[in-house]
């Protein structure tokens, strides 16, 4: 748009101001539409991240329960091994329990690693969600005529009129 403006070249003052105002209006409208598109894209991305976060939290809760069950099983097996009488039959039972105990310990390590991995994913998703729920960054200083500052309200919670005001407040008219 600015390239076309430069191609027009010098225009008499009486026409130049009007053309400049039309150019600025078109530029503002373009920027407003672009920002609306970005806000809508951010809303979609934010929803997708929220959905993924919900699934990951559900999975995290499930494997945490599974880990707790394995830890309880380990404690139960250790208790049984410790309290077996010293007979030949109990010796065989003790060896069987030790084998089961080793399997349970391997499961615990596997689940602890999985819990850690899912927890890291949850943190990444929460950070990403926080990033997309922030208000748009200001391109220039706020217009001094705008008394309301809605820039602290996330775009997806603003009405369309309020979004437009917020967007317009981020675009400073050039003189």
The answer to the question of residue 143 being in a domain is no
Is the whole-model pTM more than 0.75?
Answer: no
Write the pLDDT tens digit of every residue in 91-102. Answer: 888 889 999 999
Q: How many domains does the chain have?
A: 1
The answer to the question of residue 165 being in a domain is no
Is 108 within 8 Å of 71 (Cβ atoms)?
yes
The answer to the question of residue 24 being in a domain is yes
Question: Which residue range is the domain that position 18 belongs to?
Answer: 2-133
The answer to the question of residue 23 being in a domain is yes
The answer to the question of residue 152 being in a domain is no
The answer to the question of residue 80 being in a domain is yes
36: its two tokens? 């609306």
Write the pLDDT tens digit of every residue in 2-23. Answer: 677 677 777 777 777 887 888 8
What pLDDT is recorded for position 137? 59
Quote the CA–CA distance of 138 and 142 in Å, as a whole number: 8
Write the pLDDT tens digit of every residue in 105-132. Answer: 999 999 999 999 999 999 998 888 888 7
Spell 108-137 as b/e; 16+ CB within 10 A means b.
Answer: beebeebeeebeeebeebeebbeebbebbe
The answer to the question of residue 140 being in a domain is no
The answer to the question of residue 76 being in a domain is yes
- Cα angle: 22, vertex 28, 33; to 5 degrees: 125
Quote the CA–CA distance of 27 and 124 in Å, as a whole number: 37
């Amino acid at each position: 748009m600015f390239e076309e403006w430069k191609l027009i070249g010098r225009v008499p003052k009486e026409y130049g101001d009007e053309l400049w105002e039309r150019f600025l209006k078109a530029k503002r409208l373009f920027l407003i539409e672009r920002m609306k598109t970005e806000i809508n894209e951010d809303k979609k991305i934010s929803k997708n991240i929220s959905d993924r976060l919900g699934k990951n939290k559900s999975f995290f809760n499930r494997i945490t329960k599974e880990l707790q069950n394995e830890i309880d099983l380990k404690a139960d097996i250790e208790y049984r091994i410790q309290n077996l009488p010293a007979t030949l039959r109990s010796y065989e039972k003790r060896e069987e329990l030790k084998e089961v105990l080793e399997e349970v310990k391997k499961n615990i390590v596997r689940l602890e690693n999985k819990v850690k991995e899912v927890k890291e994913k949850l943190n990444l998703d929460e950070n990403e969600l926080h990033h997309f729920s922030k208000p748009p960054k200001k391109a220039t200083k706020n217009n001094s005529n705008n008394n309301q500052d809605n820039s602290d309200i996330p775009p997806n919670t603003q009405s369309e009129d309020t979004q437009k005001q917020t967007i317009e407040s981020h675009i400073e008219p050039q003189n």
